[in-house]
Amino acid sequence: MGQHILALDLGTTGNRAILFNKRGEIVTSSYYEFTQHFPQPGWVEHDAEEIWETTKKALDDILRVSTDIAAIGITNQRETTVVWDAERGAPIHNAIVWQCRRTAPRCEELRDHHETIRSKTGLLCDAYFSATKLEWLLKEVPGAQEKANQGALKFGTVDSWIIWKLTNGKSHITDASNASRTMLFNIHTGDYDPELLNLFNVPHSMLPTVCDSSGISAQSDASITGKTYPISGIIGDQQAALFTQCGNDTSKIKNTYGTGLFVVANTGSELLDIDGLITTVAWRESGKLTYALEGSIFIGGSAIQWLRDGLELFKDAKETEAMARYLESNDGVYFVPALVGLGSPHWDSEARGLFSGLTRGTSRNHMVRAALEALAYQTADVLEAVKQKLPLSTLRVDGGAVNNSFLMQFQADILNLPVEKPRITETTAFGAAGMAGIATGFWTETEFLSLNNIDTTYIPNMSSDERNSLKNGWNDALQRTLLKPLP
């Protein structure tokens, strides 16, 4: 057996390949960003070929260091929709990204079907999920619907697309966690739902086969990877982070601070229903589904990226901690980052971003601090909903922003809960590695979960008066965002 597990972490802004050893240490890694396309306000696209090219470059970098690999695990941005020609393997259009809001009007048109969709899939009928994106592609790309009906097109989320490329077109598969995000998958039966396929006019022939999240599902092609490796872990990025952070422990909850923010709790075999949150598949092992409760917040780290690239307030995200600490308080400045509408727990596709409390004394430091604090407020809003049915004692955190100690302390203060940062912060990649390694006997589940210890705990130290005052200011800004414009 090989001495390493290779994880491919297919993100929203770039793709990363990481080689882990048996101790859970990163041996080497490689990362490449890819282009973000915004053809219209609220629309977000990726070039699927560029997603593959950057993945292949990162993969090749790893293989130049080591080919002693036991298995490959894949984790990915979920919901992003790719359709390609089955014979030529070429995408028929740019991938439509999970953040894209172009199909929000279609979701409104489907209002009579919302309850059916919710009851079958656990999801709200929202442009966030894949079904209306796929329907749009089949309608808007000339000849696409006809080709799909003839079996000439394939659909997949990014995991399916990359596995198709890695296997040289031999395997068209996904796992249950990703399938559950398509709004076409019945989480009760564990299969695609015929009524939903008919509703969105999606032929079953274009859908990927649903596999276990942990299990040997495909083999890479030697023409792509030099020699054949088992692909034995496939899992959506937030489910992967949940597996790393909490495993099958239903008493813990985690938040990932990535492009978006994703609060997820493992609910085991139980399907919980809370307004504003979604019920989803955590993973499938040996054919058995494990479920999760999730609060999906559309804008997290991408707000910081926007301040950097769009407003040019700083050059490196690492500067934001010092900029926030430069101020003694937020001076009443708040930012609601509804740049593509609002996700959990509000689900308002018409909401747009808002800075409030600006004065002549407002500086770029205030705007940066407000953006960081917004990540904490949005997380707190979701956890307020979660507390309806689940007890909360701590929050486990991961993602790039957890290295910002100002944000992590503020998060603990606003929640009035301890915040635990793990030793391994690449939790999405490590979760995929875990799924792959457990399937091939590289680790037992107990061995894998023991590798991720808590590195830092942030303890709340804010007074209740200050906490309540800050939350009132946030709620005021949020209400202004949610109000419909005057005619």
CATH topology for the 4-237 domain: Nucleotidyltransferase; domain 5 (3.30.420)
pLDDT of residue 177: 96
Residue written as token pair 């804010």: 462
Query: Maximum Cα–Cα distance for the chain, whole Å?
Result: 67
Q: Which of 224, 263, 228 is nearest to 242 (CA)?
A: 263
Contacts of 202 (CB under 8 A, 6+ apart): 131, 134, 135, 138, 148, 155, 184
- Provide the residue-wise pLDDT of the chain in tens; the chain has 487 residues: 789 999 999 998 899 999 999 999 999 999 999 999 999 988 999 999 999 999 999 999 999 999 999 999 999 999 999 999 999 999 999 999 998 989 999 999 999 999 999 999 999 998 989 999 999 999 999 999 999 999 999 999 999 999 999 999 999 999 999 999 999 999 999 999 999 999 999 999 999 999 999 999 999 999 999 999 999 999 999 999 999 988 888 878 899 998 889 999 999 898 988 888 999 999 999 999 999 999 989 899 889 999 999 998 999 999 999 999 999 999 999 999 999 889 889 988 788 899 999 999 999 999 999 999 999 999 999 999 988 888 888 999 998 889 999 999 999 999 999 999 998 878 899 999 999 999 999 999 899 988 988 889 999 999 999 999 999 999 999 998 886 543 4
pLDDT of residue 483: 63
Residue with tokens 């279609």: 106
Give the orientation angle of helix 405-415 with respect to helix 464-482, to 10 degrees: 100
- State the Cα angle at 193 between 99 and 266, rounded to 5°: 60
Residues 241 and 396: their CA atoms lie apart, in Å, by 10
CA-to-CA distance for 343 and 68, rounded, in angstroms? 42
Compute the distance between CA of residue 404 and CA of residue 408 in angstroms, rounded to an integer.
6
124-134 as b/e: b if 16+ CB within 10 A: bbbbbbbbbbb
Q: Is 126 helix (H, G, I), strand (E, B) or coil?
A: coil
Rounded distance, CA 339 to CA 259, Å?
Answer: 12
The Cα 464–Cα 413 span in angstroms is 9
- The label of the residue with tokens 């089955």 reads 86
Supply the DSSP symbol for 123.
S
How would you classify the pairing of strands 395-398 and 419-422? parallel
For residue 391, cis peptide bond before it (omega within 30 degrees of 0): no
- Secondary element (H or E) of residue 422: strand 419-422
Q: 414 near 467, Cβ under 8 Å?
A: yes
pLDDT given for residue 484 in this prediction: 53
**Domains in the chain: boundaries:** 4-237
* Helix/strand/coil for 292: strand
Bridge partners of 32, per DSSP, are 15
pLDDT given for residue 250 in this prediction:
80
Q: What is the DSSP string of 43-84?
A: --EE-HHHHHHHHHHHHHHHHHH---EEEEEEEE-SS-BEEE
Question: String of b and e for 24-53 (b: at least 16 CB within 10 Å)?
Answer: beebebbbbebebeeeeebbbbbbbbbbbe
Q: Which of 410, 128, 400, 420 is nearest to 253 (CA)?
A: 420
What pLDDT is recorded for position 54? 97
| Angle at alpha carbon of residue 290, lines to 239 and 51, rounded to 5° | 30
* DSSP 8-state code for residue 345: T
Q: Are 137 and 81 in contact (CB under 8 A)?
A: yes
Kindly provide the b/e burial profile for residues 396-419, where b requires at least 16 CB atoms within 10 angstroms of the residue's own CB. bbbbbbbebebbbbbbbbbbebeb
With 0-12 / 13-18 / 19 or more C-beta atoms within 10 angstroms meaning exposed / middle / buried, residue 486 is exposed
Which run of H or E residues covers position 8?
Answer: strand 4-10
Helices (H) and strands (E) in the chain, counts: 17, 23
Task: Identify any residues that bridge with 458 across adjacent strands, giving them in sequence order.
Answer: 419
* Tokens matching residue 387: 């507390």
Cβ(33)–Cβ(14) under 8 Å? yes
250 touches 265 (CB < 8 A): yes
User: For residue 486, what pLDDT is reported?
Assistant: 38
Q: What is the pLDDT of residue 424?
A: 83
The answer to whether 97 touches 12, Cβ cutoff 8 Å, is yes
Q: CB of 46 within 8 A of CB of 83?
A: no
First-residue to last-residue Cα distance in the chain: 67
